[in-house]
Amino acid sequence: MITEKRKAVLLNSMRKLEAYRQIQNEMGRAVAAFNFRQADRLLDFFALNKEDVSLEYADEGVFRGPKAVRTIIREVVGEKPKPGEMLDMQLTTPIIEIADDLKTAKCVWWMPGAGAILQENKEPMAIWAWGELAVTFICEDEAWKIWKLHYFRYMKCDYKKGWVDDTSMINRLNTPLHPMSAATTYHNPYSPTGIRAGIPCPPKPYQTYTEADKNWELDENKNW
């Protein structure tokens, strides 16, 4: 005989599996919108009704609030595509933990990518663009939305030179922050003289999202 408690556990597990599927698909669609410069479609995946919605992009700073998120996405993604340019990011190695209360999810993906940067009077420059993505999703009206997104740039370099010889695009000294951003919380791209840390941290199972979970992707003590 299956007890009511056992039924509840099984039902919760089934709902988590469905949430996992939806989150994987939503994040995949969001990255596709990014790759094809579809800014408005990309914005549809964010919880823009939340005042604390946020996006942190490499060393560009943290963009908090709907207005700031809309601004940076339209600046980075919204320009009209130009012939010869390309940036194509992929999602791999998903680590997705849905809260037991089914209201939030903590997610990490690795993001290998490649691109082509236009150059004046030259052929486009082929580049590598690799990073990691930590995202907190929130479920509202049975729809999973991006609540907090943090892109960690690991390397961005000339394809021909490689990431050891070309660090010019990831270590930009004296570059001012965007006027709508707060200070970057973490930026540690590859360096021939540096050490790679285990960040973003892979999320662990959890019951519900609390204030203590803020910046969970940076908490090595809690998430490793």
The tens digit of pLDDT for each residue in 36-77 reads: 999 999 999 999 999 999 999 999 999 999 999 999 999 999
Q: Please report which helix (H) or strand (E) contains residue 132, including its range.
A: strand 122-140
Token pair 């052929």 is at which residue?
123
Tell me the CATH class for 4-223.
alpha beta
79, exposed or middle or buried, with CB in 10 Å at 0-12, 13-18, 19+? exposed
Residues making up the chain, counted from first to last: 224
Tell me the CB-side half-sphere exposure of residue 158, using CA atoms within 13 A. 11
Nearest-angstrom CA–CA distance, 24 and 184:
27
Least confident of 6-15, 105-114, 141-150: 6-15
Token pair 């579809």 is at which residue?
38
Contacts of 126 (CB under 8 A, 6+ apart): 114, 115, 116, 158, 159, 160
Nearest-angstrom CA–CA distance, 196 and 194:
7
The tens digit of pLDDT for each residue in 171-217 reads: 666 677 889 999 999 999 999 998 988 999 999 999 999 999 999 99
Least confident of 64-68, 81-85, 93-97: 81-85
Where residue 4 falls among pLDDT bands split at 50, 70, 90?
Answer: confident
Q: Which two tokens stand for residue 128?
A: 């590598």
Nearest-angstrom CA–CA distance, 65 and 59:
18
